[in-house]
Amino acid sequence: MEIKAIRGMNDILPEESGRWRLLEDTTRRIFSLYGFAELRPPLLERTELFLRGIGDETDVVEKQMYTFTDKGGDSVTLRPEATACVLRAVIEHGLLGKDPVQKLYSIGPMFRYERPQKGRYRQFHQINAERLGEDGPLADAETLAMAYDLARSILGREALLMEVNSLGCKECRPAFKAELEGFLASRQELLCSDCRRRMHTNPLRVLDCKVESCREAVRNAPLMDRLLCNGCRDHHGKVLEGLGALGVSCEENPRLVRGLDYYTRTTFEITAAGLGSQNAVAGGGRYDDLLSVLGGPQVGGIGFAFGMERMIMLMGEARHRETGCFVVTQPRPDIELASLALISELRSAGIRTEASPGRSFKAQMRRADRSGYPLCAILGEDEVKTATLTIRDMRTASQIKINRAAVLEEVTSLLADRKGE
């Protein structure tokens, strides 16, 4: 019987891996401009970390974790998100003792047992960033600007929408929660069974519920913005001002919430046109208590996560133009040996070179055609005799003869011309 991949877990095939590399390279380039460094936590952590770090009333913890008991009898979980893992590593290695400001990113797979559909998988990948030790509004603005820069450089400015909100803090949120709970109690017949329970313990989660009747129920729910304390109002205003100065275009959305109790003040989401119902590409926000909840110091932070599959879906075809040269050889032992010397010379000069040795001339030409290289170098009896090479432009099918000795110069200059087109 044929063995297939597990539902919701995808292979990334060679034809797509160029786009993945481009997204990763772009991320590293942009994040390093902001002074972020990479931290790579393991994929498997103690289950306890996520119970504490995500909150046991979230969908992720209640329904979606890949949790199992290992051979030593410990409960372990394939990470469903990166923030808790990164903060665990920061605490464990005392990184804030070495430098009280930490700017960290990580890239890699996450695991959630969700119902798979387009844009939603059970193994998916995230780009994650965390900035710890700076509480001011401009740290928020800068972090959001970094997320915006990444989204813009991959998707283009027109295709994306960044929405920002403030969720208040320990001072002002309780009054909001009480008001919200009262509102939800009056509409509880519309709520799903999870939300009926959550509305007393964590009513903000209800605002985030995806069940249609719950969305209907919260349509006219009270909003946080009216109840923000002076500190939060001032912080939020300065975040928006900072974003303006950094050239980020965003919209305020007072309905935007994140379900976690640890989120404080700034919260944001980036959505993209062209993705259907799963249109969120990134989300994040400030958390002032999460580090201490995980056993670390009382230091605040702000972070975000991008869903990479959704970014890749929007990237379309790879923007890389293939570069390099395919070498086609007349199948005669001495000429084949001469072609190996040519191939080696081209590769040593850093030119991507491929051949398909041991096949007929026609089969090699067909392969050269399919491989997508812009140039093909042909070495036959005539070329060997006259110490020349035939270079074929694969797009126009025009051919020129060059001196064998000048091959590096000629091929380099022809490839440079092609790049400029």
55 CB neighbour count, 10 Å cutoff = 20
Residue 124 interacts with ligand AMP (CB under 6 A)? yes
Pair 253, 94: CB distance under 8 Å = no
- Applying CB under 6 A, among 16, 114, 135, 345 the residue interacting with ligand AMP is 114
Which helix (DSSP H) or strand (DSSP E) does residue 276 occupy?
none
Q: Whose Cβ is closer to ligand AMP: residue 75's or residue 117's? A: 117
120 binds ligand AMP (CB under 6 A): yes
By CB under 6 A, residue 137 contacts ligand AMP: no
Indicate whether 112 belongs to the interface with ligand AMP (CB under 6 A).
Answer: yes
What is the smallest separation between the CB atom of 148 and ligand AMP, expressed in angstroms? 14
114 vs 135, beta carbon nearer ligand AMP: 114
**Helices 173-185, 193-201: crossing angle, 10 deg rounding:** 140
CA 231 to chain CA centroid, Å, is 33
What is the CB-side half-sphere exposure of residue 194 using CA atoms within 13 A? 18
From the CA atom positions of the chain, what is the Rg in Å? 28
Are 375 and 328 in contact, with CB atoms under 8 Å apart? no
Query: Of the listed pieces 196-204, 305-313, 357-365, 398-406, which binds ligand AMP according to CB under 6 A?
Result: 305-313
Q: Near ligand AMP by CB under 6 A, which window of 43-51, 120-128, 181-189, 332-340?
A: 120-128
Distance of CA 409 to the CA centre of its chain: 39
Report the greatest alpha carbon distance in the chain.
92
Among 54, 180, 204, 282, binds ligand AMP (CB under 6 A): 282
Among 280, 315, 365, 408, binds ligand AMP (CB under 6 A): 280
* Unique residue bearing structure tokens 């498997």: 44
| Candidate ranges 231-239, 275-283, 288-296, 369-377; the one touching ligand AMP (CB under 6 A) | 275-283
Q: Does 309 bind ligand AMP (CB under 6 A)?
A: yes
Binding residue for ligand AMP, selected from 19, 173, 235, 310, defined by CB under 6 A? 310
User: Between residues 97 and 276, which has the closer beta carbon with respect to ligand AMP?
Assistant: 276
259: left (phi over 0), alpha (psi -120 to 50) or beta: alpha
**Closest distance between ligand AMP and the C-beta of residue 164, in Å?**
15
CB of 78 to ligand AMP, least distance (A): 13
Number of neighbouring beta carbons within 10 Å of residue 370: 9
Q: Is 107 in the site for ligand AMP (CB under 6 A)?
A: no
Task: Tell me how far apart the terminal alpha carbons of the chain are, to the nearest angstrom.
Answer: 49
* CA–CA distance, 112 with 63 (Å, rounded to integer): 9
Stretch that binds ligand AMP, among 212-220, 279-287, 320-328, 365-373 (CB under 6 A): 279-287
Cα(181)–Cα(386) distance, integer angstroms:
88
User: Hunting for tokens 């270079």 — which residue is that?
Assistant: 391
Cα torsion 58, 281, 246, 84 to 10°: value is 40
**Contact track, ligand AMP, 332-371, x by CB under 6 A:** ----------------------------------------
| 16 near ligand AMP, rule: CB under 6 A | no
Site string for ligand AMP, 75-104 (x = CB under 6 A): ------x-----------------------
Q: Which stretch binds ligand AMP (CB under 6 A): 149-157, 197-205, 291-299, 307-315?
A: 307-315
- Identity (one letter) of the amino acid at 378? I
Scanning the structure block, which residue is given the tokens 């084949």?
336
Least gap, CB of 359 to ligand AMP (angstroms): 42
- The SS3 of residue 16 is helix
For ligand AMP (CB under 6 A), the number of binding residues is: 16
Which residue, judged by CB position, is nearest to ligand AMP in the bound state? 307
285 binds ligand AMP (CB under 6 A): no
Among 305, 343, 368, 379, binds ligand AMP (CB under 6 A): 305
* CB within 8 Å of 363: residues ≥ 6 apart: 356
Q: How far apart are CA 42 and CA 364, in angstroms?
A: 45
Residues near ligand AMP, by CB under 6 A:
81, 112, 114, 119-121, 124, 126, 280-283, 305, 307, 309-310
